[in-house]
Amino acid sequence: MEGPHERAIEASTATAQVHDRAVVTRALDGHLTAAYQPIVNLVRNQVIGYEALLRYRGDDGRATSVFSTRELLAAARRVGRLAEMEAAALREALRAHDELPHQCFLALNVSVESLADERVAAPLLEYGSLEGIVLELPHHGLESLPDARDALDRLRDRGASVAVGEPVLDPAMLTELLQLEPGYLKLTHELVAGIARSRSKLAIVASLRQLAEHLDMGVIAQGIEQLADLRSLERLGVELGQGYLLARPATSSRFLTSLPSLDAMRERHTDEGMRIRSMLEPVAELTEEQLDSPLPDTGDISYEVIVSELHEPLAVLRRKGRRVESLPLTIIDVHTSAKAAAITALQRPENARFEPMVCVDEMGTCVGVLRVDRLMKELARQQPAEAAPHLGDRPASRRSGRHPRH
């Protein structure tokens, strides 16, 4: 017999299904819209494309956050109307294609399993030329690729290109990825968020970027929300990105071709500590395996830093000709202020006080050496000393043993 617990579960399930059907029906009945988030070339600070994001339209006609994209698609899947939802989303997103700035592409999200459905492919096939359209396919649906192959080939024949969400690095998925030959590889928000503080994320992104480079794919990092994460991605060679730090999704009437706010943001974060970067001197980096290699006799004094595989400094050497001397290793962060760097240098033992310090970025990667003599000259230039008083002006201070205030 069915007990009260089972009946309660059934009642709850039935209520959820009714809710899902109502949400999906209302969304498909004219309550879908799209917002567009810029995809930015981080090197040139130029908007190169926009990703269309599904939004629920409220009664006032504006996009609302009542239902997220994930919730809408999940509800549509549960009631068996996913293909209808994705087809409607594509039609809505395509409305703004002709309004895009010149040479900007439009990225459209579509699942591989739905792409095999004629109802989903129809809005794209009916559109005509698909030049400038990028189809974003999530990696978790690549196993359905054989079923969607015909539709995907037809769309590519019309000019569409493909982006794939961050793939799982297993042989089966990589095989599917190689067969698909996408133009872009997208890094998920989960991988990008906090990358500046995670060695594992740094290593994963470095590997994915190298994989993409070998397969002639661009890499787009999505979900960039922190400046430190942006700098880490740039350091790893990721040139394309999107996220709230760069620009939030907006309506089609607010398409941009560049992001002045990005330059302004970088300018605001260029504080006193950043001045150290201009004082850094390049340094030769060696791995421990390269230590036994013969060094050329240049006759000049130079520095070498022994680094790990992740370019973290392990030791610093000074070389003059063929003579090599190991120096005390002092590591400072690139955002340390000039004053704080000087204090760090002077707090070292006397025999090491004026030796160079190794500077690292947010990832702990060596970016150069800071010579203390150059640091002191720069501080003196920024804050010229006041004229010293005459000896006759300070008898009281001499008698009391106190120094005059400057």
Q: Give the domain-ending residue among 232, 254, 269.
A: 269
Same domain for 187 and 332? Answer: no
Same domain for 130 and 233? Answer: yes
Asked whether residue 201 is domain-assigned, the answer is yes
Distance CA 134, CA 164 (A): 10
Asked whether residue 69 is domain-assigned, the answer is yes
Tokens 């990008």 -> residue:
192
Same domain for 190 and 294? Answer: no
**pLDDT value at position 391?**
37
Same domain for 265 and 292? Answer: no
Same domain for 255 and 281? Answer: no
- Could you tell me which residues are beta bridge partners of residue 368? 359
Report the pLDDT averaged over residues 311-340: 84
Same domain for 303 and 212? Answer: no
Asked whether residue 181 is domain-assigned, the answer is yes
Tokens 């010229």 -> residue:
384
Q: Give the domain-ending residue among 226, 254, 269.
A: 269
Q: Which of 375, 314, 377 is nearest to 343 (CA)?
A: 375
Same domain for 93 and 142? Answer: yes
Residue 281 has pLDDT above 80, yes or no: yes
CATH code assigned at 369: 3.10.580.10
Range with top average pLDDT, 123-132, 138-147, 169-178, 397-406? 123-132
Tokens 């480079």 -> residue:
213
Asked whether residue 397 is domain-assigned, the answer is no
* AA letter at 392: G
Same domain for 310 and 178? Answer: no
13-47 per-position pLDDT tens digit: 556 778 888 888 888 888 888 889 999 999 888 89
The number of distinct structural domains making up the chain is 2
Q: How far is CA 362 from CA 198, 238, 343, in A?
A: 10, 16, 21
Same domain for 230 and 369? Answer: no
Pairing outcome for strands 331-333 and 357-360: parallel
The pLDDT > 90 percentage for the chain reads 21
Asked whether residue 176 is domain-assigned, the answer is yes
Asked whether residue 388 is domain-assigned, the answer is no
Asked whether residue 92 is domain-assigned, the answer is yes
Q: Give the domain-ending residue among 228, 246, 269.
A: 269
Report the pLDDT averaged over residues 316-330: 83
Token pair recorded at residue 343:
């204090």
Q: How far is CA 334 from CA 139, 229, 239, 269, 357, in A?
A: 37, 15, 22, 13, 11
Same domain for 72 and 38? Answer: yes
Same domain for 255 and 327? Answer: no
Same domain for 261 and 281? Answer: no
Distance CA 13, CA 20 (A): 10
What's the angle, vertex CA 187, arms to CA 181 and CA 77, rounded to 5? 85
How would DSSP label each residue in 303-326? EEEEE-TT--EEEEEEEETTEEEE
Domain of 115? 31-269
- Could you tell me which residues are beta bridge partners of residue 261? none
Band (220; pLDDT cuts 50, 70, 90): very high
Asked whether residue 248 is domain-assigned, the answer is yes
Question: Which run of H or E residues covers position 367?
Answer: strand 366-370
Residue 192 has pLDDT above 90, yes or no: yes
Distance CA 274, CA 291 (A): 32
Token pair recorded at residue 117:
């459905």
